[in-house]
Amino acid sequence: MANDLDTKPVKLKIAIPLSIIEVFEFLESINITSETNPSSLDKIFEEIVNYYEPKTNVIIEQFKFFRRCQVKGESFYKFLREICNLAKRYEFGDFEDNMVRIGIVFGVNDIDLQERLFKSTRHKSY
């Protein structure tokens, strides 16, 4: 044989075609077949990543956002950074800035700061 497979152990000779079959079956299971004619290797990798990438449950992620409170000993800036990061992941869209403000007001554990935030936003309309 041109690929020198005849010198390999029998287990390897069997494993190679089985692996190829498994790859084709996997690609077919995620709708990549010769009929779909993927235009490039990058497209195949993109489909594989899309298949394995965990899907986000927006409701659960928003629940986590609203449950986030500043923990004892956590600096305000660390809490603020976390709230901003959470808001970016949770698909609030055009409401992201407003949701960050709400998250801060509800989640901050400094009552004096919370009251100052109420006063500073009292006269603004959104």
Tell me, yes or no, whether 71 and 43 share the same domain: no
d(CA 37, CA 41): 11
Which residues of the chain are modeled with pLDDT < 50? Answer: 1, 123-126
Tell me, yes or no, whether 44 and 70 share the same domain: no
Residue range(s) defining the domain that contains residue 14: 5-52
Q: What is the pLDDT of residue 70?
A: 94
Chain centroid offset of residue 16 CA: 34
H helical segments located in the chain: 10-29, 41-52, 58-67, 76-89, 96-107, 111-121
- Is residue 17 situated within a structural domain? yes
72's tokens: 């004892």
Q: What is the pLDDT of residue 79?
A: 93
Q: What is the pLDDT of residue 67?
A: 93
70's tokens: 């500043």
Query: What is the 3-state composition of the chain as percent helix, strand, coil, each rounded to the nearest 5?
Result: 65, 0, 35
Q: What is the pLDDT of residue 126?
A: 39
Counting the structural domains of the chain, the total is: 2
Q: What is the pLDDT of residue 36?
A: 59
